[in-house]
């Protein structure tokens, strides 16, 4: 069993929520490092540490649990399917889980499956972060999935892969209320690091932000000091109401670990 709790990150105070979790209850084993499936009865704490942030970036009070303004909890989607409902009210900043805290390593390839539906998003809402915790001045977010304005300027339903940060290397306009499967592959080598993206089972073509060349394996440094994955809803240019539903998260060290969730044939 392990004891998980909230902690202090980059001067933002997050609530401290103790939870005793048996690893077997989460289904992680062997090369699978993290496994969260609400339909299998997993608690969101299987993802790791809950991070909450309040009104317009205000610190979340110590020891205060999630409430109706900000939450990440097992529920059902609008069609009655079991999922984690991730929510933050207008004006609120963060509803995330931080996985593999201080456990990620250099010279490792991480395979991340993320099955999710977005219902309401804002421009620049981040829904996945590969977040740096040491060299934050030079590369705060080596990789992220986030939303930008659509081409017609009407809404903000175009998801982007930023690598690093908000340098978009791939984008796709999504339909709100539809389930999508993402597979993110990140290698943490200092000299031969790379990122790949699977979207609905297909390996995506990425565009190098500097050279504009096309590739399915984008080279880069994605582990400046120590970077960890985070899932949920963070930020937004206009602090709008945001909602998503998460059906599965898997983090492993082999492609086969995530194949079933992402829809990859191996």
Mean pLDDT, the chain, rounded, equals 90
Task: Give whole-number Cα distances, 155 to 32, 71, 175, 191, 247, in Å.
Answer: 37, 24, 11, 39, 25
pLDDT above 80 (res 166): yes
Residue 198 domain-assigned (yes or no): no
Task: Supply the pLDDT for residue 121.
Answer: 96
Task: Supply the pLDDT for residue 15.
Answer: 45
Residue 85 pairs in a beta bridge with 73, 245
Q: Kindly indicate the confidence band of residue 13, based on its pLDDT and cuts at 50, 70 and 90.
A: very low
Do residues 144 and 162 touch, judged by C-beta distance below 8 A? yes
Q: Kindly give, in sequence order, each residue whose CB lies less than 8 Å from that of residue 140, ignoring residues fewer than 6 positions away.
A: 131, 132, 165
The total number of structural domains in the chain stands at 1
- Rounded average pLDDT over 31-55: 96
Per-residue pLDDT tens digits for 59-97: 888 888 999 999 999 999 999 999 999 999 999 999 999
pTM: 0.90
Q: Kindly indicate the confidence band of residue 4, based on its pLDDT and cuts at 50, 70 and 90.
A: very low
Q: Verify cis geometry, omega within 30 degrees of 0, for the bond prior to 15.
A: no
- Rounded average pLDDT over 5-20: 38
Residue 82 domain-assigned (yes or no): yes
Residue 243 domain-assigned (yes or no): yes
Task: Supply the pLDDT for residue 261.
Answer: 97
Range of the domain at 21: 2-101+117-177+225-247
Encode 208-225: b = buried (16+ Cβ within 10 Å), e = exposed. ebeeeeeeeebebbbbbe
Residue 220 domain-assigned (yes or no): no
Residue 46 domain-assigned (yes or no): yes
């Amino acid at each position: 069993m392990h004891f998980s709790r909230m902690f202090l990150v980059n001067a933002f105070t997050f609530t401290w929520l103790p939870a005793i979790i048996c690893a077997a209850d989460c289904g992680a084993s062997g090369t699978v490092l993290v496994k969260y499936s609400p339909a299998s009865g997993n608690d969101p704490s299987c993802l790791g540490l809950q991070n909450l942030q309040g009104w317009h970036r205000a610190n979340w009070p110590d020891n205060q649990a999630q409430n109706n303004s900000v939450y990440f909890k097992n529920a059902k989607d609008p069609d009655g399917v079991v999922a984690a409902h991730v929510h933050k009210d207008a004006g609120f900043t963060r509803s995330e889980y931080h996985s593999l805290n201080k456990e990620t390593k250099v010279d490792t390839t991480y395979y991340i499956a993320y099955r999710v539906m977005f219902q309401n998003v804002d421009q620049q809402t981040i829904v996945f972060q590969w977040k740096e915790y040491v060299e934050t001045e030079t590369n705060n977010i080596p990789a992220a999935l986030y939303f930008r304005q659509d081409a017609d300027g009407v809404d903000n339903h175009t998801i982007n892969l930023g690598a690093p940060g908000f340098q978009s290397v791939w984008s796709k306009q999504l339909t709100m209320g539809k389930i999508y499967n993402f597979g993110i592959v990140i290698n943490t080598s200092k000299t031969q690091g790379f990122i790949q993206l699977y979207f609905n089972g297909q390996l995506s073509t990425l565009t190098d932000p500097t050279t504009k060349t096309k590739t399915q394996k984008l080279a880069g440094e994605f582990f400046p000091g120590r970077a960890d994955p985070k899932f949920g809803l963070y930020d937004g240019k206009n602090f709008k109401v945001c909602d998503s539903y998460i059906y599965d998260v898997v983090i492993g060290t082999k492609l086969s670990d995530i194949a079933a969730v992402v829809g990859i044939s191996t």
